[in-house]
Amino acid sequence: MHKMTKSMVGSLLALALTGATTRAEETLRFATWDTDESLAIQQAIAKKFEEKHPGVKVQVEPYADGYDQKLVAAFGAGNPPDVMYMWNFPQYYTSLMPLDELIARDAAEITPDDFPQGLMNTTRVEGKTYGMPSGFTTQVVFYNKDMFAKAGVEQPKDGWTWEDLRAKAAKFRDEANKVYGFAVDAKPDPYDFEQFLWSNGTKYISDDGKEIDGYMNSDAAAEVLDMFADMAKTQEAVTLNLGDDTSGATLFKGSKIAMFQSAMWSKAGIDAAGFNYGVAPLPKFGDHVAHSALGVSAISIAKDAAHPDLAWEFVKFFSSPEAVAMRTNDLPVRTSVAEEKGMTTDPVYKPFFDILATSDTEIHAYLKNENWGKIQDNLARAIEATMIDQGNAKAHLDDAVARSKRLLK
């Protein structure tokens, strides 16, 4: 045998190290419900992570409309993605990794105080954190400045009330041309609808998740629901989802309603409609503070992730200012990023952030009781019945409470 030279030894060592790197390459699976432009953003974030972690491949798995079915199947088969988009924590939290110790350990990188408390609240079950917020929206009122100018109606101002909105809406009523000031939904998402109860000093269910009587059917709750029914009755608003499936967004973009309550997901379509619009905060009920429902997406780690340490590194990067700033299809979950982008002062975006600050202590009902989904079905029927009757909310809410009591635990 020939004697090995130093150069030969060096070459073999380099080859060995290369082989070791190849064997150590890891594929991190990341499941998302996003499609189109939003999916492209997630893929770009994953690419950035790969650049910062040579030898790591992030496999982005776009489950799209079948997200929950595919995720449940993956957990059931014992082969879940390492990291995944999440919102329904009560359904999945037993299969997810609690993150509190990791957040505390890496607080200097995560900077938890940069995430508004209201967003963090949506990721907690039984006092434990199971995800990091990745995007959010609150609810606002979009209004058509051109219609307001033509009708000579003063534009909404900060601190306005539902009485103010109703007075403005009445001035747009034109039954012959099917033009109205506002739209109310006969079948609203109960998740979002709770914001109105919060804003009138009540909620669906007690904080311990054990009582709905005196909450969901309280006088304050009935007052809210009766108000919307009365707006439909007086034609201050057109009623959605009663024999016609035309959406509020379609009516607003077609200049058939002057004001439209919605969220960030409607903005792109409104931008494309090509008219001048403004964004106002949700109105107040009298002297109460207005609150908003929180639409929050988060990123979580499977309890049985194949690469838990790498998964946490990915979550940290996904939560970093760099990655948060890349997410241009929703609102930044970091206060610092929102401020740097000028969103907290921009008149179009400012209302989204202002009402987030007043909604940081409210907890959505689905996080309080494991049977909330079934209770919510009874509530939805009560809301629809009130809108059909154009009143009598208390009786319908009492009935929903009576039907739901057996479901409380």
Residues 192 and 269 in one domain: yes
Residue 363 lies inside a defined structural domain of this protein? no
Q: Are residues 275 and 323 in the same domain?
A: no
Report pLDDT digits (tens) over 224-265.
Answer: 999 999 999 999 999 999 888 899 999 999 999 999 999 999
Q: Is residue 34 part of a domain?
A: yes
pTM, full prediction: 0.89
Same domain for 307 and 259: no
SS3 113: helix
Which three-class secondary structure state does DSSP give residue 96? strand
Q: Domain check: are 287 and 386 in the same one? A: yes
| Rounded-to-integer distance, Cα 380 and Cα 209, Å | 18
Residues 190 and 65 in one domain: no
Structural domain includes residue 133 = yes
On whether both 239 and 143 belong to a single domain, the answer is: yes
* pLDDT of the residue at 396: 98
Helices (H), 155-213: 162-170, 190-199
Segments of the chain with pLDDT less than 50:
1-23
- DSSP run (H or E) holding 133: strand 132-137
Q: Which residues contact 118 (CB under 8 A, 6 or more apart)?
A: 294, 356, 359, 360, 361, 362
Distance of CA 361 to the CA centre of its chain: 16
Helix segments in 84-174, DSSP class H: 89-92, 100-105, 107-110, 117-121, 145-151, 162-170
| 238 backbone dihedrals φ, ψ, rounded to 5° | -85, 150
Strand partners, 32: 62
Residues 81 and 28 in one domain: yes
Are 132 and 146 within one domain?
Answer: no
- Give dist(CA 29, CA 36) in Å, integer: 19
**Domain shared by 190 and 278, yes or no:** yes
Domain for residue 169, yes or no? yes
Torsion angles phi and psi, residue 276, rounded to 5: -80, 130
How far does the chain reach from its first CA to its final CA, in angstroms?
79
pLDDT at 364: 94
- Name 249's Cβ contacts closer than 8 Å, sequence gap at least 6: 260, 262, 266, 269, 270
Quickly tell me which residue has 């969901």 as its tokens.
216
Report how far residue 379's alpha carbon sits from residue 213's, in angstroms, rounded to the nearest whole number. Answer: 12
Q: What are phi and psi of 325, to 5 degrees?
A: -65, -25
281-299 residue pLDDT tens: 999 999 999 999 999 999 9
Q: What is the pLDDT of residue 24?
A: 54
Spatial distance between the Cα atoms of 46 and 184, rounded to a whole number of angstroms: 40
Contacts with 145 (C-beta within 8 Å, 6 or more apart), sequence order: 155, 275, 276, 277, 278
Please tell me the total count of domains within the chain: 2
Residue 342 and residue 242 share a domain: no
Residue 66, domain member (yes or no): yes
Query: Residue 4 domain-assigned?
Result: no
Residue 14 lies in a domain: no
**Residue ranges making up the domain that contains 259:** 139-293+369-407
CATH of residue 232's domain is 3.40.190.10
Query: Are 286 and 349 members of one domain?
Result: no
Report yes or no on 19 lying in a domain: no
Can you tell me which residue has the tokens 């009365």?
230
Of 132, 139, 62, which is closest to residue 297 (Cα–Cα)?
Answer: 132
330 touches 369 (CB < 8 A): no
357, 382, 398 - which closes a domain: 357
Does 149 share its domain with 288? yes
Name the residue among 355, 363, 398 with its Cα closest to residue 378.
Answer: 398
